[in-house]
Amino acid sequence: MTISTHHHFRNGDLVANQIFIAASELGVKDLIWFPSASFHCHEPMIEYLKDGTIHHIEGSMNGPLGRFASLGNMKGTGVLRSHGGRYQAVQDGEVVIDIAVIAAPTADPFGNANGLTGDSACGLLGFALADSQYAHKVIVVTDNLIPFPCVPWQIQGNYVDYVVEMDQIGIPERIISGTTRITKSPDRLFIAELTAKFCDEVGILYDGFSFQAGAGGTSLAIGNYFGEIMREKGIKARFARGGSNQYLVEMLEEGLIDYILDGQTFDLAGVRSMRENPNHVNTSPFTSYNYHGKGNFAGIVDVVILGATEVDVNYNANVVTHSDGYLLHGIGGWQNCLFSKNVILPIPLFRDRIPIIRDEVTTICGPGELIDVIVTERGIAINPRRKDLLDAVKNSKLPIRTIEELKEEAERICGKPEPVEFGERVIAAINWVDGTVIDVVRQVIE
């Protein structure tokens, strides 16, 4: 059977582990776990992978779970999809969910549910929407059961089979992590400032533009620099695509943004804003990221700011493995964002003295034809395909370099890393937004 869960509580989830404790006690084997994402709090799943309760994971394998799988310890082969790709797979029937377990901070006995109120309020529940609509059996789990009707309902009771009450389903403070605070690193702040200046100089920032910046410390700093430019120019954004956080909320409340179209609530300020402000709108991968959905609006976003673990000289990028080959991250909405009008990756030239720009990335998660600009602390590289951007910076004082020049500088400083030794076994497939396989992850040989 396939069991699905969602990750709105991020590292504060108290529900997913309990499902597999129960399955193990029942003696059920070879389950497929289909989470929208996993976190360090899910490390106990390793025991159920070892004893055969879980056959494999189709979803992000972050931290300990990724390391466990990278060493060839998982019985089956994992599948990693983007947030929109997950919805696409369920909608198209590639994944059939037998039981969906939806942790809801507030619900009524009919199964209507939201994440806006209650002691475990986490914001939206959009990642569970596909699960509620398509799963054979849907269980809503709540620690705040209220009389019918639960309004607004982000999950409709019409899809729900059972409602289960628990003492506590999540720790809302653990929604917040180090990835949702602005960086204090001078190098990263410089990269952020350089990115914002580039966007301004080439004309990406105009009255009524739209943007998405991720939850990483550098991306959050870029949003702050955008705010400074917007105040100075007297312009505002029509919408910002979230992950929402306190910085984005402050821009909304200041009037710099008309709407936040929120796909994931990253902190408690975002939860409060969504509850109180009608211009802070909850969305799901169906309305924003699903490549086979009519509501996919990724292509009309003017600029997205994304991270990467590696980039190569052909602008291909990696977000799931590191240069040592270990699978440590999920794809998230990263692939889906590549269809925006301008895709910018602000990344350091090296991490822990390992160059980030390489001849070939360890794992291709996004093709170079969709990635437009790389911004590092030592220069900006523009994809040769983007002749319009190259023309826009012809007389610029910005440090424009070729990607080959940036790679050579990193190797002069750090040296060229030795290639990683991989085994033959494929431990995970990387799916593209349409359900095809773009690359695979192989077992690491220690």
The contacts of residue 411 (CB under 8 Å, 6+ apart) are: 355
Supply the pLDDT for residue 178: 46
Single residue among 175, 209, 229 that ends a domain in this structure: 175
Supply the pLDDT for residue 86: 97
304 plus 255 within the same structural domain? yes
192 plus 162 within the same structural domain? no
The contacts of residue 31 (CB under 8 Å, 6+ apart) are: 1, 2, 3, 20, 23, 53, 54, 55
117 plus 235 within the same structural domain? no
Q: How far is residue 242 from each of residues 59, 91, 172, 260, 385, measured CA to CA in Å? A: 21, 23, 18, 6, 28
Residue 423, domain member (yes or no): no
Yes or no: say if 229 and 196 are a contact pair by the CB < 8 Å rule.
yes
Residue 388, domain member (yes or no): yes
> Mean pLDDT in runs of 10 for the chain (446 residues)?
95 96 98 96 97 97 94 97 97 97 98 96 94 98 98 97 97 68 83 96 98 81 93 97 90 98 89 96 88 92 96 98 94 96 96 94 98 97 98 96 98 92 96 98 94
Residue 433, domain member (yes or no): no
**Three-state DSSP class for residue 249:** helix
The contacts of residue 368 (CB under 8 Å, 6+ apart) are: 312, 314, 315, 316, 317, 383
Name which of 304, 270, 312, 310 is nearest 288 in CA terms.
Answer: 304
Name which of 218, 3, 183, 220 is nearest 97 in CA terms.
Answer: 3
157 plus 198 within the same structural domain? no
222 plus 270 within the same structural domain? yes
124 plus 246 within the same structural domain? no
pTM: 0.95
284 plus 254 within the same structural domain? yes
Indicate the number of domains in the chain.
Answer: 2
Tell me the β-bridge partners of 350: 355
Residue 72, domain member (yes or no): yes
Supply the pLDDT for residue 128: 96
87 plus 184 within the same structural domain? no
Q: Which domain covers residue 116, as residue numbers?
A: 2-175
Tell me the β-bridge partners of 100: 4, 138
197 plus 158 within the same structural domain? no
Residue 437 main-chain phi, psi, to 5 deg: -95, 125
Report the CATH number that the domain containing residue 78 is assigned in CATH. 3.40.1080.10
Fill in the DSSP letter of residue 9.
T
169 plus 193 within the same structural domain? no
Residue with tokens 């009519």: 294
73 plus 187 within the same structural domain? no
294 plus 370 within the same structural domain? yes
Single residue among 175, 202, 221 that ends a domain in this structure: 175
Single residue among 144, 175, 206 that ends a domain in this structure: 175
Residue 444, domain member (yes or no): no
Residue 422, domain member (yes or no): no
Supply the pLDDT for residue 418: 87
Supply the pLDDT for residue 101: 98
**CA–centroid distance for 274 within its chain:** 19
